[in-house]
A and B are shown apart, each in its own frame.
Chain A
Amino acid sequence: MKLMWFHLMPYTELPDDFRDNHPSVWVDIHSSLFDPQRAHHMYNDFMDELEFAADCGFDAICVNEHHSNGYGLMPSPNLIASSLARRTKDTKLCVMGNSIALYNPPTRVAEEFAMLDCISGGRLIAGFPVGSPMDTCFALGQNPSMLRQRYMEAHDLIIKAWTEKDTFAFNGRFNQQRYVNIWPRPVQRPHPPVWVPGGGSVETWQWCAEMEYVYCYLSYYGYKAGMQTMMGFWHEMKRIGKDMNPYRAGFLQFVGVAETEKEAYDLYREPAEYFYGRCLHVDPRFAMPPGYTTEATQRAGIESQVGRAAKEQRTNIAVSKSAREYDAILDNGYVITGTPDQVAERLRAIAKEMNVGHLMLLLQFGNMSKQLTQYNTKLFAEKVMPQLRDLFDDEWEDHWWPTPMADADRAKVSAPRMMAAE
């Protein structure tokens, strides 16, 4: 299986009273809380951590896009990925991703991803999220009623820009361009693998299957809450006749590893409570712009509410999505902590049960220091990773993994850097 190291780049110095005295970590978080000189250090620490993860042998390092967000300091993940492309060699670069409906024209995404693919020698995974309501509709003002229509059109334009050999005109409903002809073109043919993070709607599952894209469920609420979504995904794949290749899917999990169970429990308390207490403090008025959720998804949600409640009562699998205390965070499975053997055993069982071949790991979360992040990362790489590597590989091939240029054909990059893993 593939083990991928994911960074959200959270601002690590939100005040202790943040939850009580500030309405939201997202959209209208106050600028007085942001210290650019402290952020200088945070960005450089975060990029060190990503490079360190690459050196430790993770299959990919992952970045994502958020706007006006106190737990995600990457309005442009492409800027970070560009630097990482120079300072890593073989690790794949997963940009998860660019909210393609936001770009005007979306050709910009085709161009920048093609640049990244060229700079990295074909190591790019191209993530195409719709984007959260907070990012897209409120922070950047996109119309929620048109967002999905724009997304689909942006997708079509980008794919065509990557694959059409001749200059073409695009006369879309929302985008018109008389001359589309991107320079550069991506290294990977026909184009970099496309992965789609989604929230659990049937339409997205079906579309990923139709397009042969990877579906990723990137929840902050761990494997217990995610199980139902992933079971739904596989049920739908089976229903429409797709194989059960686990590499069709990706899943995100917070993990904290230490030499002893007690040490793990103690080390990750503060960053976990920081993340679930402060970073997920989002004003609910930004959660549901009208039109963002499709009517089919609304309908499915309303119809299943009664049935789901009854089922959860029967099976006792209800998972709270509001835990902020450490023990509840652990009990609910938001964060998995333990010794390397304990963590490996649980992740192996989860990956098998969810049938997920791309496991994205948040080994930095909340206000975790660089030192602790690197300890967590190194221990995971040395003692957990070897226990998971073989999973699925004897049975399934990952058709959705980047295919870089041959090593001999790649540029000798001379960007100076410290070997972080040393």
Chain B
Amino acid sequence: MDHSETTISAHGIESRVWRKGSGPKLAYLAGFAGLPKWIPMLDALAAHCEVNAISLPGFPGGGRGHLQLDSLFEFALATHDLVAAAGCRGATLMGASVGGALAMEVAAIWPDSVGKLVLQSPFGLYDDANPPTDPWAQRGDKVDALMCETEGAYNALIAAHGNADAVEWPIETVRAREASARYLWPNSATHVEKRLGRIVCPTLVLWGEKDKVQPPAYAGALRDGISGSVTVETIAGAGHMAELDRPDAVANAVARFLKG
């Protein structure tokens, strides 16, 4: 069965929501590049829950609302409002990579709005001794190997599909990177460590074993800082975008967490 597509609106910001599956609701905030197309990990996840993949402002399906948002807080507020508009208030909130940074903020600023939290290699932390890689200062031909262990996986995500507009598609790809840069430039640091204690819900932290963007060691800081119970799982053999490298492993880890 295919996923459905609806458009939601929250205080002037419109967003695409892709839905699939049944059972407990899970709001999904995609990672670097957003979701220019549906990915198999969402199919695997939809076997266990109702997946609501919400496009964040500026990311594919998220229009140009990012240009109205000037701070991390304004991005977090828009995310909070879109999650609520998608009918997912109080549900599980899952955020990957740059989407993970905003999922953390929502859970920290509005703790009552998140039932459970899943963070997959989230942006936001910064350790001087082990800094994250700058994802925006990269040659185009180097990004694929930076993001994934599976050669070509990232490039396949951003490659234009058959019906894509040859002019608008590459612009949309750049816009997604711009949107993440808008709230994470220049260091990917949100200083969320000051707010982690406000996260009280049960939390699953997933990290690709071979993540070359966000150091896997950061999982320990999340485990130590978050007030709620924290489970940390490493996705063996996966890079930063583990959802592309090992979709079943990511989905199964989330399924176990939802049942627990």
- B167 close to chain A: CB less than 8 A: yes
Of the candidates A143, A290, A295, the one whose C-beta lies within 8 Å of that of B177 is A290
Report how many residues on chain B are interfacial, defined by Cβ distance under 8 Å: 23
Chain B contacts with A in 133-153, Cβ cutoff 8 A: 136-139, 142
State whether B171 touches A143 (Cβ < 8 A). no
- B217 close to chain A: CB less than 8 A: no
A-B contact count (CB 8 A): 62
Of the candidates A144, A174, A299, the one whose C-beta lies within 8 Å of that of B178 is A144
- B182 close to chain A: CB less than 8 A: yes
Chain A contacts with B in 166-184, Cβ cutoff 8 A: 173-174
**Complex Cα gap A383–B58 (Å):** 57
User: Which residues of chain A are within 8 angstroms of B136 by Cβ–Cβ distance?
Assistant: 144, 289-290
With A141-B186, A289-B181, A291-B178: A146-B139 Cβ-Cβ less than 8 Å? no
**Complex Cα gap A141–B186 (Å):** 6
Of the candidates A145, A174, A298, A299, the one whose C-beta lies within 8 Å of that of B185 is A145
- B174 close to chain A: CB less than 8 A: yes
Chain A: interface size category = 20 to 34
Shortest CB distance B166–A (Å): 8
State whether B167 touches A291 (Cβ < 8 A). no
State whether A145 touches B138 (Cβ < 8 A). no
State whether A299 touches B167 (Cβ < 8 A). yes
- Which A-chain residue is minimally distant from B66 (CB atoms)? A145
Binary CB contact string for chain A from 285 to 296 against chain B (1 if under 8 A, 0 otherwise)? 110011101010
**Complex Cα gap A295–B58 (Å):** 12
With A141-B186, A144-B185: A302-B70 Cβ-Cβ less than 8 Å? no
State whether A143 touches B182 (Cβ < 8 A). yes
User: Which residues of chain B are within 8 angstroms of A286 by Cβ–Cβ distance?
Assistant: 137
- A138 close to chain B: CB less than 8 A: yes
Binary CB contact string for chain B from 172 to 192 against chain A (1 if under 8 A, 0 otherwise)? 001101110110011100000
With A295-B171, A298-B171, A303-B167: A145-B178 Cβ-Cβ less than 8 Å? yes
State whether B137 touches A138 (Cβ < 8 A). yes
Shortest CB distance B56–A (Å): 14
**Complex Cα gap A295–B182 (Å):** 15
User: Which residues of chain A are within 8 angstroms of B177 by Cβ–Cβ distance?
Assistant: 290-291
- Which A-chain residue is minimally distant from B184 (CB atoms)? A143
State whether B137 touches A174 (Cβ < 8 A). no
- B40 close to chain A: CB less than 8 A: no
User: Which residues of chain A are within 8 angstroms of B187 by Cβ–Cβ distance?
Assistant: 141
**Complex Cα gap A171–B246 (Å):** 49
- B237 close to chain A: CB less than 8 A: no
Shortest CB distance A220–B (Å): 21
State whether A141 touches B185 (Cβ < 8 A). yes
With A173-B70, A174-B70, A302-B167: A145-B182 Cβ-Cβ less than 8 Å? yes
Additional pairs, 7, CB under 8 Å, beyond known A141-B187, A299-B168: A141-B186, A174-B70, A285-B138, A290-B177, A291-B181, A299-B171, A302-B171
Name 29 interchain pairs, CB-CB below 8 A, sorted by A.
Answer: A137-B185, A137-B186, A141-B185, A141-B186, A143-B185, A144-B178, A144-B181, A144-B185, A145-B66, A145-B67, A145-B178, A149-B67, A174-B70, A285-B137, A285-B138, A286-B137, A290-B175, A290-B177, A290-B181, A291-B177, A291-B181, A295-B171, A295-B175, A298-B174, A299-B167, A299-B168, A302-B166, A302-B167, A303-B167
Residues of A within 8 A of B (CB): 137-138, 141, 143-146, 149, 173-174, 284-286, 289-291, 293, 295, 298-299, 302-303
